[in-house]
Structure 1
Amino acid sequence: MNHIRSILTLACLATLAAAAGAQGQGQRPGLGITDIMRAGPRLAPAPAAPRTAPPAAPVQRSAEYIVALVNSEPITNTEVQTRVERILKENAEAQRVPRAELTRLVLERLIAERAQLQQAKEAGIKVDELAIDQAEQTVARQNQMSLVELRSRVAAEGISPQTFRNDLRDQLLLTRLRDREVEAKVKVSDIEVDQFIRDQRTSPNAATQNINIAQVLVAVPESASDAQVASLQQRAQGVAQRARAGEDFAKLAQEFSDSPDRAVGGALGMRSADRYPSLFVEATQSTAVNGIAGPIRSGAGFHVLKVLAKSQPGAADAVVTQTQVRHILLRSDAKRSTAQAVAQLAEFKERIQKGTGDFAGLARDNSQDASAKEGGDLGWSRPGQFVPEFEEAMNRLAPGQVSDPVVSRFGVHLIQVVARRDAKLSQAEQREAARAVLREKKVEEAFETWAQEIRARAYVEYREPPQS
């Protein structure tokens, strides 16, 4: 399974700002809920296409109207202004961009997305309802809230449940299109890996640093009063004081944290800094290993953070959290739908929990991949080795636990974590970690080129300019 970016690791307003000449960076998982609705994977501003009609002169309009056609498919003024408002509401940087410029950039982004979604449709790429259900649950978990709370927050943003699910579907389609058209074609040579490792050892880059952070989350309900917020903040400060005094952080997490990762002592796992919320990275940037940061406030509540480890990919002393994992994979096809695969794996889980079934035996008899002969064993994995759907579910499991069925682009998985360890990478593993970082960078560059080509091939007819 190839490592790709999660649907939650999407380009946000900063990408739009980059097109206007500002410094951009990718959106991290677990931040604003409506980030998922803003944009697909990072795009560079598209060059003018010879088949694109010039923009019409501004005309004042109050009713709904079409602002552009993309291969005869309309983009409306409401679509543009709705996205502009979401960006302005959730990103302070957006407020420094002139509204007219932001609107233009959003329109260009919508045009690029629409062209890519049309490409996905032509390629026969589909996303079923179960995958959308799972994506919705993932957004809720990564924002440290229940599905009910997520839906309430989305409704408060003026977004209907169906609109939110449609946007999730679009992001999944764009991610799978990216896999198909770009991911598999990118190669990293041994010479490039050697150079990257030399560069990292001589001039470490904080952006590519691997970090392992543990957290205690003291959740703050959306409807909390000022007095309740103050009380919860005091509770978080008490946890931080006890952690700084030397108490076992894992035990504090198990006792006080409102996050699902409390079962594993709050540890979030060794991963690259750009796969953590930027709030966490900024709070711990100057914190030494074993140091405590916080409490810091997010939309979910107050976080107390402990830095468990830091290392550079390719470094001789690189240490990562490795997971020994096994799975049972059932593929969806004409004979078995995704829903039927989910139902069968749910039955396997029940048998395993009751002791009437053995995970390895069920994997050998049923799994539809090469790991079947090994009882589903995938060996010791490092962060980023599996696709995000799989890895997100795996990271939530304590050793011995079995997941609910997990839908990925390969089919449906039942996952069991056997063990975890923090281990120093072998030389071969260091090279693979370095290769993964380089590959992700090259995928981004290749995707930008590919996206520009799709945009240039699309017939775009501009109608009347968007107006708020």
Structure 2
Amino acid sequence: MKLSRLISTALCCCLSLSSIAAEQEIDRVAVIVDNSVVLESDIEDIVKRVKRNAAAAGQTLPSDTALRTQATERLILTNLQLQMAQRMGLQISDAQLDDTIRNIAQGENLSLEAFRQQVITEEGDYQRFRERVREEMITGEVVRANVQRRVYISPQEVESVMKLMDEQGASNEQYNLGQILIAIPNQASNDDITEAKSRADKVLQLLREGSDFKRIAIASSSGSNALEGGDLGWMNINEMPTLFSEAIRGRKKTDIIGPLRSGAGFHILTIFDIRGENVAEINEVKSRHILIKPSIILSEDRARTMLTDFVSKLRSGEADFAQLAKQHSEDPGSKLNGGELGWSEPDVFVPAFRDTLNRLQVNEISEPFRTEHGWHIAQVIDKRTVDATADKKRQQVYRMIFNRRFNEESTNFLRELRSDAHIEVRSEG
């Protein structure tokens, strides 16, 4: 009997070890990315999600091999950005994540619980969805922190663009562009350029013969939006790269444009849609904040705890916001004014700050939240709707130029990040 039990136990152990080994085999390392890895399960997760979204939209897709290539490249870039975020000490707290998901739910006109159930129905795992949103927030902050300092716009440039728009009678039309990028490597040889041009010409021929643009983009594009079918979203003509804006002038919806040569490679564009933008009024908030920056001396937890204590005292009436800002805030631009930031559109602030202001009611004080600048608490003092005056037009033109430059520099930044990394593909699926 004892021997029988031992054999039975040994068989159970073997089966258990076999099961673990099988799991490990399924979730093997697919790519080594500098000091981290991309797992096979992560690649499969993206492929399944793209297939699910395509099925819901009635869209055809390229081969699994093409999908896998795009998913792998997406994860490599994400991984590199997450590693950079770790070096920068950049984190997204659960409170920040909750605020963002709440805003997403509101954008879908759903309660948080209804949105959660929708995610579970569509994707099966709400926690995995949360972590994916957290990663997207982190990678967005990494790009923003590294690219913003590359962009400089002089007042003279803004005035020149405003004058040019007035002379041309520029409209407020927005374009929903699609892009297929046939990339060339850094320091490309003549053969590299010739080969890329040949591939671009073949793609162009397929599109002119009636192939679906989004399907070809997923299969062939090296752009960061390839898995979204090359969709670049809505842009005013002045927000686009100059190469694009000059090429689409006078074009109509569904036109195929290109190939256009840039330092990144050959671009083929289409116009998915065109719409007018008639913004007569702008919503602004008057706000103030207190910023505490973590450091070697002051930990993340201590910075957040300090602000939590401030919030408690402010809500109970034991402290005055302006006085606390003057004594403790580390934002030199606002602390002497009691933390006041004046009247602004929320969109001028980084996403976490913008989302917090949009959520707050007048006089409401936020819980502590984290941005790339440190830990904040914020209060909305007042809200108003104003006409789009000449000053507002100047701000809009500035933002158009900034968005165009930011998009161009973001592409350059990601290319540099990718080219400087050690990438070792261990598995092809």
- TM-score, normalised to structure 1's length? 0.56
Instruction: Tell me the residue number matched to 2:136.
Output: 171
Which of the residues 283, 286, 308 maps onto 1:346?
308
Kept in 1, the 8 Å contact 2:99–2:355? The answer is no
Q: Report the CA distance between 1:136 and its aligned residue.
A: 3.6
The separation in 2 between residues aligned to 1:98 and 1:208, in whole angstroms, is 26
Q: Report the CA distance between 1:88 and its aligned residue.
A: 2.2
Instruction: Tell me the residue number matched to 1:403.
Output: 366
The separation in 2 between residues aligned to 1:454 and 1:354, in whole angstroms, is 48
The separation in 2 between residues aligned to 1:148 and 1:118, in whole angstroms, is 32
Instruction: Tell me the residue number matched to 1:251.
Output: none
Kept in 2, the 8 Å contact 1:325–1:415? The answer is yes
Matches within 5 A, 1:28-427: 63-71=26-34, 73-91=36-54, 92=56, 95-100=59-64, 101-121=66-86, 124-128=87-91, 131-144=93-106, 154=119, 156=121, 157-159=123-125, 161=127, 163-164=128-129, 166-198=131-163, 200-201=165-166, 202-207=169-174, 311=278, 319-370=281-332, 371-427=334-390
Distance 1:119 1:342, change over 3 A: closer
The separation in 2 between residues aligned to 1:72 and 1:329, in whole angstroms, is 33
How many residue pairs align between the two structures? 301
Q: Report the CA distance between 1:64 and its aligned residue.
A: 4.5
The separation in 2 between residues aligned to 1:84 and 1:205, in whole angstroms, is 37
Kept in 2, the 8 Å contact 1:136–1:168? The answer is no
1:453 partner letter = E
Q: Report the CA distance between 1:160 and its aligned residue.
A: 6.7
Q: Report the CA distance between 1:106 and its aligned residue.
A: 1.5
Kept in 2, the 8 Å contact 1:352–1:358? The answer is yes
Instruction: Tell me the residue number matched to 2:425.
Output: 462
Partner deviation per Cα, 1:75-99 (whole Å, 9 max, x = no partner): 3332211111112223556842213
Partner deviation per Cα, 1:96-135 (whole Å, 9 max, x = no partner): 22133222211222223233334444xx212346x24412
Partner deviation per Cα, 1:369-404 (whole Å, 9 max, x = no partner): 221221111111124221111111111122222222
Which sections of structure 2, spanning at least 5 residues, go unmatched?
1-24, 177-232, 237-276
- What is the SS of the residue equivalent to 1:380? strand
Which sections of structure 1, spanning at least 5 residues, go unmatched?
1-61, 210-271, 276-309, 313-317
1:180 partner letter = A
The separation in 1 between residues aligned to 2:27 and 2:317, in whole angstroms, is 60
The separation in 1 between residues aligned to 2:324 and 2:290, in whole angstroms, is 8
The separation in 2 between residues aligned to 1:353 and 1:119, in whole angstroms, is 37
The separation in 1 between residues aligned to 2:304 and 2:83, in whole angstroms, is 29
Give the structure with higher Rg (CA): 2
Partner deviation per Cα, 1:424-461 (whole Å, 9 max, x = no partner): 35534432321122112211111112211222233333
- What is the SS of the residue equivalent to 2:365? coil
Higher relative contact order (CA 8 A, sep 6+): 1
Kept in 2, the 8 Å contact 1:125–1:176? The answer is no
Kept in 1, the 8 Å contact 2:27–2:40? The answer is yes
Distance 1:207 1:338, change over 3 A: farther
The separation in 2 between residues aligned to 1:128 and 1:393, in whole angstroms, is 17
- What is the SS of the residue equivalent to 2:90? coil
1:181 partner letter = N
Kept in 1, the 8 Å contact 2:292–2:328? The answer is yes
RMSD of aligned residue pairs (Cα, Å): 3.3
1:444 counterpart = 2:411: no
Distance 1:335 1:208, change over 3 A: farther
2:82 partner letter = L
The separation in 2 between residues aligned to 1:207 and 1:193, in whole angstroms, is 19
1:207 partner letter = Q
Kept in 2, the 8 Å contact 1:70–1:460? The answer is yes
1:105 partner letter = Q
Partner deviation per Cα, 1:215-256 (whole Å, 9 max, x = no partner): xxxxxxxxxxxxxxxxxxxxxxxxxxxxxxxxxxxxxxxxxx
Percent of counterpart pairs with the same letter?
A: 26
Distance 1:153 1:437, change over 3 A: same
The separation in 1 between residues aligned to 2:300 and 2:37, in whole angstroms, is 32
Distance 1:199 1:89, change over 3 A: farther
2:286 partner letter = Q
The separation in 2 between residues aligned to 1:153 and 1:115, in whole angstroms, is 31
Instruction: Tell me the residue number matched to 1:48.
Output: none
Partner deviation per Cα, 1:314-344 (whole Å, 9 max, x = no partner): xxxx531121111122222233333333333
Distance 1:335 1:77, change over 3 A: closer
Distance 1:423 1:72, change over 3 A: closer
The separation in 2 between residues aligned to 1:320 and 1:328, in whole angstroms, is 26
1:98 partner letter = P
Distance 1:273 1:364, change over 3 A: farther
The separation in 2 between residues aligned to 1:450 and 1:160, in whole angstroms, is 32
Instruction: Tell me the residue number matched to 2:213.
Output: none
Which of the residues 413, 431, 435 maps onto 2:394?
431
- What is the SS of the residue equivalent to 2:348? coil
- TM-score, normalised to structure 2's length? 0.61
Instruction: Tell me the residue number matched to 2:210.
Output: none
Kept in 2, the 8 Å contact 1:132–1:168? The answer is no
Kept in 1, the 8 Å contact 2:346–2:357? The answer is no
Distance 1:360 1:191, change over 3 A: closer
Kept in 2, the 8 Å contact 1:84–1:106? The answer is yes
Greater share of helix residues, 1 or 2? Answer: 2
